[in-house]
């Protein structure tokens, strides 16, 4: 009997705690613009980037902290096949020329448009088509500003942004 009472009391406490915590955070989410990067409790920077058939990322800037684990997910919300409208996210090392890299990538169709043996890349997702998603995990590099692009032929001029490590 005593156990049942204890369980009831602890359930009540848990419910109260949740109710108090939930309210302010949901209000915040409603009033704030959607953030691309979320720091979860385990310290991982969780990034979700959306793209579609219009050759655009939904963000041109992502900021993480040095040494942080980064979990990056790319969603392709379009309908076109990856042979026609493939997208990926390639984070380039500092001082890598986007135009020169994109030219090398274009010549690397048999390797998902990533130049074989390249030393220019910090991390990249696989190439995906419409209605596909992909996730990668990597360690944030040293403090600095890096470029990210889609390396599908002709996309890098429109599909690019800054990956900032603070
Ligand atoms: Zn693309």
Query: What's the pLDDT tens digit per position in 30-78?
Result: 433 445 677 766 789 999 999 999 999 999 999 999 989 999 999 999 9
Q: What is the pLDDT of residue 93?
A: 98
Q: What is the pLDDT of residue 103?
A: 97
Higher pLDDT, 67 or 151: 151
Cα of 47 vs centre of ligand 1, distance in Å, is: 18
Q: What is the pLDDT of residue 58?
A: 96
Q: Using a pLDDT cut of 70, give the percent of the chain over it.
A: 77
**pTM, full prediction:** 0.78
Cα of 120 vs centre of ligand 1, distance in Å, is: 18
* Mean per-residue pLDDT over the chain, rounded: 85
Residue 151: name the closest of 119, 118, 114, 116 by CA: 114
Cα of 153 vs centre of ligand 1, distance in Å, is: 8
Cα of 42 vs centre of ligand 1, distance in Å, is: 31
Cα of 141 vs centre of ligand 1, distance in Å, is: 24
Residue 62: name the closest of 49, 50, 73, 75 by CA: 49
């Amino acid at each position: 009997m005593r156990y049942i009472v204890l369980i009831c009391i602890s359930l009540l406490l848990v419910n109260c705690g949740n109710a108090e915590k939930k309210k302010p955070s949901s209000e915040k989410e409603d009033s704030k613009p959607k953030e691309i990067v979320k720091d979860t409790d385990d310290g991982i920077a969780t990034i979700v980037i959306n793209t579609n058939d219009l050759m655009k990322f939904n963000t041109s800037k992502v900021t993480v902290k040095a040494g942080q684990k980064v979990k990056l997910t790319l969603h392709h919300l379009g309908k076109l096949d990856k042979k026609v409208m493939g997208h990926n996210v390639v984070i380039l090392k500092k001082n890598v020329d986007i135009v020169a890299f994109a030219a090398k990538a274009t010549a690397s169709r048999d390797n998902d448009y990533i130049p074989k043996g390249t030393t220019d890349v910090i991390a990249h997702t696989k190439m995906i088509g419409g209605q596909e998603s992909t996730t990668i995990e990597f360690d944030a590099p040293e403090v600095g500003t890096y470029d990210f692009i889609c390396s599908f032929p002709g996309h890098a001029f429109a599909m690019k942004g800054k990956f900032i490590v603070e």
